[in-house]
Chains A and B, each alone.
Chain A
Amino acid sequence: MPDHPTETASGAAAEPAAVLLDALRYRWPGADCDCLNIATLRIAAGERVFLRGPSGSGKTTLLSLVGGVILPQAGVVRIGGQSLAALSAGARDRFRADHVGFVFQLFNLLPYLSARDNILLACRFSPQRRARIAVAGSTPEAEATRLAERLDLGAALLDRPAAALSVGQQQRVAAARALIGRPGLVVADEPTSALDAERQQAFIDLLLDECAAAGAALLFVSHDQRLAGHFDRVLDLATIHRATGSMQAPA
């Protein structure tokens, strides 16, 4: 697989981009046309990007590509400089565990584990997250408690089973789980759609603050333009997708 020049061409900073998609095409097996066709999408390390996309615009496919659950038919997916296509399926799973945190719309937690064990679950599958916590001189348990406090989750809540928490609390537990062990990228997929309006902005502000504190890039995907206020950059999936029709390689 030829090494793509984009990284050196556009990357002024020494740190590789958190997400780099280039000349990417993906078609689901049996589909008539490409589900995703993106010329380029680059999210710098630590950058917080709002990606607007109505349902059916290929959001789920994009998340699966970024997570390395599927591989594109053409083009490059690099996460933190690592080409996912260069990794085996098992290595991509490990890579996802180590470097990407996910927060989904609903039902993020295993109902039979306590909130604390749900947060720690991310460390269970990732030796690197554990190692980074250890380097910072902490333990996964202490780190889980610290993050929970930052996200307004009291210590008493942490020992409750996840199923006993309110939706807002569950989403904050999910955020803490995505952030623990400082992954380079947090991907949030409509994480606020189940929250009421005033809670939505509060959750997004918490998420933005914690990503900044952890040095993680944030890819926030939502159909709701009103939430885009505090992000570094706002993109529209429909635009990126359509743009590929006319544009060729990036200038």
Chain B
Amino acid sequence: MSPVFTLSLHSIANRRLSVLLTVIAVALSVALLLGVERLRNDAKAGFAQTLSGTDLVVGARSGPVQLLLYAVFHLGSATNNMSWASIEHLAALPQVQWLVPISLGDSHRGHRVVGSTADFFAHYRHGDRRPLRFAQGRPFEDKPAEAAGIFEVVLGAEVAARFGYALGQRIVLSHGSLGGEGGPRFADHADKPFTVVGILARSGTPVDRALLVSLEGIEAIHVDWHGGAPIPGLRIAPEHVRKFDLQPKSVTAALVGLKSRTAVFRVQRQINTYPDEALTAILPGATLQALWSLVGIAEKALLAVSALVVAVGLAGMVAVVVASLGERRRELAILRALGARPRQVFALLAVESLLLALAGIVLGLVLLYGAGAAFAPWLSSAHGLQLSLGWPGVGEWRLLGAVLAVSLLASLVPALRAYRYSLADGMTIRV
């Protein structure tokens, strides 16, 4: 078989241009397929790690996906709040290491305002347990003593970028999700503007689209409100809110970290059966996975399309090799006269196509890693998508194996044709 292999190499070198174009077509299709697969996995991993390091998300009794959607993605709203008493009870459980309450309900120009404690910045983790980073400024003041400290806001990266906000800027929050442009004026908390003290770096999580204030801030803008509207005739100036009790009576949800992960199911059951209030505790990772299976259909379609592109690339390769066969019948007859067996002729063509496919696959990998290295910083900064540039994973090896298997099948087409030619023509061909 060794004369066959060297012949294949020479024959390929002889048809450089068409071979090069074929290899590039296969390479692009392979790079696309693997790129889609990798982005798919990375997006899935990124999504599943929207919230990492948090063992349980707790809210009023509801479905797990609904709780996840409003507590983590700030989509929709809670049917019920959970009482501050329950928060204190949970925080005091011996297995609980930390607890970050979250209070939702207000907005700013279409973006959700998240009331929390400064612990939020310490405990919120995403991706591979990466903390939120500040691009500029600092967290809002926790348990502020001064009135000014109450009205501090930290902006998610997208909010700051979209509206061009800078540190020190004063912005107005609106009640509910009504306010802002086009919303009714009465819904604005215009009397108590907030000062931007920090802007977060992009994280690829819902935090990018949120504004973060202290729980006291949320309470303070509502001291002269009742039942979702300002109390007529009552106006309390911002500098006087300190005189009121700004301890919240209830919050929307809480993120909980445990001392030991092994206790997670026990604590979850304990919370779900808490007798004083109807609560739901979910494991964010598991619920994120469930949610992904709902939204993940599009990425499967994308993978199917790129698999088709590979099929097109390989079909093009087969077409090029088969088209060359007509003019190479003479060559095959010469080889037969020199004593080449029909199966050596078969091998010659099979090896040739297979070499093209292999070259395409290798070049495709080079393209993939090259493009990955070139675009990873941009993907990370613009979309918060962490592109992994590691060794191909199991799924990618499986795809590569499938591409190779299909190439092998494809290479049989010209090889079988050459085999039939060489049997029919023998040593002589009437040219």
Contact = CB atoms under 8 A, between A and B. Distances in A.
B339 A64 contact: no
B299 interface: no
B339 A69 contact: no
Contact of A107 (B3, B342, B427, B431): B431
A60 interface: yes
Nearest to B13: A112
A93 B337 CA distance: 8
A70 B426 contact: yes
Contacts of B431: 106-107
A90 B330 contact: no
B301 interface: no
B426 A69 contact: yes
Given A64-B427, A67-B427, A112 B11 contact: yes
Contacts, number: 73
Interface of B: 3, 7, 10-11, 13-14, 330-331, 334-344, 426-428, 431
A63 B338 CA distance: 13
A97 interface: yes
Contact of B336 (A69, A110, A126): A69
A108 B334 contact: yes
Interface centre among A60, A70, A95, A124, by most B CB within 10 Å?
Answer: A124
A112 B426 contact: no
10 contacts: A89-B342, A93-B339, A94-B339, A96-B337, A97-B338, A98-B339, A112-B11, A112-B13, A124-B338, A125-B3
Contact of A60 (B11, B14, B334, B428): B428
Contact of B3 (A70, A102, A104, A124): A124
Given A69-B427, A111-B331, 5 more contacts: A63-B428, A109-B334, A110-B10, A111-B14, A125-B344
A94 B7 CA distance: 18
Contacts of A131: none
B341 A104 contact: no
B426 to A, nearest CB: 4
Contacts of B11: 110, 112
Contacts of A69: 336, 426-427
Nearest to A96: B339
B57 to A, nearest CB: 67
A79 to B, nearest CB: 13
B338 A121 contact: yes
Contacts of B340: 93, 97, 125
A122 interface: yes
A93 B342 CA distance: 9
Contacts of B427: 63-64, 67, 69, 102, 104
Given A64-B428, A110-B331, A90 B341 contact: yes
B338 A112 contact: no
A177 B7 CA distance: 16
A107 B330 contact: yes
Contact of B341 (A93, A106, A108, A109): A93
B426 A122 contact: no
A63 B333 CA distance: 13
Contacts of B330: 107
Contacts of A67: 337, 426-427
Interface string A115-130: 0010001101110000
